[in-house]
Structure 1
Amino acid sequence: MTGGPVDAGQERLRRWRLVLGGDTADGTGCALRGRDAAVDRALAALYGKEDGARTGRDRSAGLGSSAPSVARWLGDIRTYFPSPVVRVVQRDAIDRLGLGALLTEPEMLEAVEADVHLVGTLLSLHKAMPETVKETARAVVRKVVEELEQRLAARTRAALTGALDRSARVSRPRHHDIDWNRTIAANLKHYLPEHRTVVPERLVGYGRASRSVRKEVVLCVDQSGSMASSVVYASVFGAVLASMRSIGTRFVVFDTAVADLTEQLDDPVDVLFGTRLGGGTDINRALAYCQSRISRPAETVVVLISDLHEGGIRDEMLERVAAMKAAGVQFVALLALSDDGAPAYDREHASALAALGAPAFACTPDLFPEVMAAAIEKRPLPVPDRTGGT
């Protein structure tokens, strides 16, 4: 009969511990573990310093000044709290952490050095922004996106056009389809000096432009808070791929729900503002949607961009990947698409994908065109860091 009151008492202590922030003077004697400890850290990052100033205690807290830290924290609070609470906490963050100066003064946004991390932060906060600032924030995002397109678009189109051309060539062409320059180059070892000629043992032909060689690319992008930079780069590459007539492109973002943003790919800024950074992760559900949209597996490349922290059904996720690969789909798993360095990721899931023949690795934006070209040509991927293979 004592279980109920004791449990209720422990629950009250736990709640007081979360409210008080927990140091030797909180008086609860309650230690937090697991999710409760993570929630406490998220709350301390926002409320800890002010509490310390008011009470004389110095709680170690704060988000620092980096945009990646803020973006990760925003993703955390969406995971731990319901939407109404998240909106309150975001407004507090804007007021308490100095973000208000950044987000409520258009001049500040216009003067700041805009980069991918700032874009991720603005996208995370844009629903909490004052209406007077949203257009300025959108202009900042567009500036960064346009700079990324200038840097990446030409190289991507060149790499993929070459890959498509090579994958479409035929080895037994008709006479008028022979590519004589490449045929000679491929047969130089058969040069006969006495006859001053090359004997072409292998003919290389031009591929015929037809619907049968059109490639399909599905970008399946995790929009959890830690993936903010990857979402920005993925939207830019999605728009570039969609501009190529020889490639059919689908752009899917997911957390615990799935959103198909393919119709917005003509403007990557619209894609970005259609995302919802933060929250949980259900890779299995996202892959189920992508799998249902594949009509020509042998001509399809699926690129999963995720840190693989799966909140859905793990075994089903792996079964879907195995089924897609067995059907002929080229499957690429990128733990990050960014310049941020080594990402945090689920090593168990990465190793499981590697065992299926889908190594999971981080990829810089500059390497992405080469990765896609290799996938289209069905040759080994240029894996810079075999993160998922060890």
Structure 2
Amino acid sequence: MTTADKTATEAAAEAAKEAVAEGAAEAGGDERLRRWRLVLGGGGADGTNCALTGRDAAMDGALTALYGGAADSRGRGRGRDRSAGLGASAPSVARWLGDIRSYFPSSVVQVMQRDAIDRLGLSTLLLEPEMLEAVEADVYLVGTLLSLNKAMPETTKETARAVVRKVVDQLEKKLATRTRSTLTGALDRSARVSRPRHRDIDWHRTIRANLKNYLPEFHTVVPERLIGYGRASQSVKKEVVLCIDQSGSMAASVVYASVFGAVLSSMRSISTRLVVFDTSVVDLTDQLDDPVDVLFGTQLGGGTDINRALAYCQSQITRPADTVVVLISDLYEGGIRDEMLKRVAAMKASGVQFVALLALSDEGTPAYDREHAAALAALGAPAFACTPDLFPEVMAAAIEKRPLPIPDMAPHR
């Protein structure tokens, strides 16, 4: 199994185990035994004859409560002894969440939380405010909360919104500046004009373009060709439509797309529309000023009708040559496949820049419908997974109508 094929949990568990084992190899005497005891876990500690005390014992107890014994080579629990588990009560789980936050770094805590939710079915406990206050907030947790949105009691909703807002604010702070600067440059280049007004001349590009006209006797350049941005710099240059699949497997993509949608909508030169869909279509454009409102306006889960969603997006396009449509979906179409492909072909023929992302997340290549991805690639719309760090470059390329920066792991180039 390659690293790309492992789940995030397996990779993190193996990395942690290797790190501790490496430290054990370098340590001496009792310290080596202690480290191996922590790696091996289990009551007998596999023959190390090393007893854990204090903080070490507490760390081992926290791991045993979740994994129920020693971990196998993929970081998964052996034995699954439920008698040593977390139980089903919110107070015991909340205490455990507090413990692991004090014993482990944030990245490890997030992995353990995911395992606790997946292995022990703790999702319903997240509907209790005291639980939400104890968790380490991340994109995965936000996705879980959104999937529980309809079942969430009023007493929990404000706490849930606070947790979601914390994650959204962190993501926006991380992604906004680079996104704006990258796309502003792309917009400027795409709007370049050759007969600008004096105040709109780009003197740096104009000088570079006219260096051949340098007159040494006058120490000057004769600007035979002027380059500038003209009045277009003050108006909407591009229209972007984000069309997001809100099926359960797309949770992280929905979170990231909502944040990027808010960032794009804050740029005066871009008109942004955000559409989410399952078997129905919902336009959340009027909520783009607050991505938290957008997220709570989604409903993760349900079926998928890409054709219906694209039909709606197509009906909203008024300037095809200046429009970028970004479909974010795993392409498991529940609607009419042939009509979906015809719509994509029609949009591209009209001048629309069409981008198909299998996922917008930090994960590796997701599960997706390979037949539909191949069909889109044949239409000149390659489908690929995209990380949040790469998304600004993808959008810049689409705006400038140049080849997309498709990563090496993409299934269709």
Please give the TM-score of this superposition, normalised by the length of structure 2. Answer: 0.68
Instruction: Report whether the alignment pairs 1:326 with 2:330.
Output: no
2:408 pairs with one of 377, 381, 385: 385
Gapped runs of 5+ residues in structure 2?
1-79, 82-110
Kept after mapping to 2: 8 A contact 1:230/1:305: yes
- In the alignment, is the contact (CA less than 8 A) between 1:359 and 1:386 conserved in 2? no
> d(CA) in 2 for partners of 1:286 and 1:70?
32
Provide the secondary structure at the position in 2 that maps to 1:209. Answer: helix
State how 1:42-81 maps to structure 2 within 5 Å: 67=114
Unaligned 5+ segments in structure 1 are 1-48, 51-63, 72-92
Query: Per-residue CA shift, 1:335-390, capped at 9, x if unaligned?
Result: 11000111111111111111111111111111111111111111221111363425
SS of residue paired to 1:383: coil
Instruction: Provide the secondary structure at the position in 1 that maps to 2:282.
Output: strand
Larger RCO: 1 or 2 (CA < 8 Å, sep 6+): 1
- 1:337 paired with 2:380, answer no
Q: Provide the aligned C-alpha RMSD in A.
A: 2.7
Tell me which of 373, 386, 391 is aligned to 1:363: 386
Matched residues in 1 for 2:117 and 2:206: separation? Answer: 56
CA contact (8 A) 1:353 1:388 kept: no
Match of 1:378, as an amino acid? K
Query: Which residues in structure 2 correspond to 1:169-248 (within 5 Å)?
Result: 169-174=192-197, 177-188=200-211, 191=214, 196-198=219-221, 200=223, 202-209=225-232, 214-248=237-271
**TM-score of the aligned structures, taking structure 1 as reference length:** 0.72
Q: d(CA) in 2 for partners of 1:69 and 1:160?
A: 40
Q: SS where residue 412 of structure 2 aligns? A: coil
Letter in 2 for 1:145: V
Distance 1:147 1:203, change over 3 A: same
1:127 aligns with 2:150: yes
Q: Which of 208, 232, 255 pairs up with 2:278?
A: 255
2:121 pairs with 1:97: yes
| Residues 236, 271 of structure 2: 8 Å contact kept | no
Retained in 1: the 8 A contact 2:116–2:122? Answer: no
Offset at 1:107?
2.7
Distance 1:99 1:210 in 2: 48
Query: Which amino acid is 1:99 matched to?
Result: S
Output one character per residue of 1:95-134: Cα deviation in whole Å (capped at 9) or x when no partner: x723344332x23312211000000000001222233222
1:55 match: none
Q: Following the alignment from structure 2 to structure 1, what is the Cα–Cα distance between the partners of residues 202 and 156?
A: 57
Aligned residue number for residue 53 of structure 2: none
Aligned to 2:374: 351
Post-superposition CA distance 1:242-277 (Å, at most 9, x none): 111211111000001100011111111111011010
Contact 2:149/2:299 (8 A) holds in 1? no
How far the C-alpha of 1:236 sits from its partner, in A, is 0.6
Aligned AA (2:260): F
Name the CA distance, whole Å, in 2 between partners of 1:70 and 1:252.
29
Partner of 2:72: none
Q: Which amino acid aligns with 2:133?
A: E
1:169 Cα deviation from its structure 2 partner: 1.4
Name the CA shift for 1:213/1:129 in 2 (closer, same or farther; >3 Å): closer
Describe the SS at the equivalent of 1:332. strand
Distance 1:330 1:107, change over 3 A: same
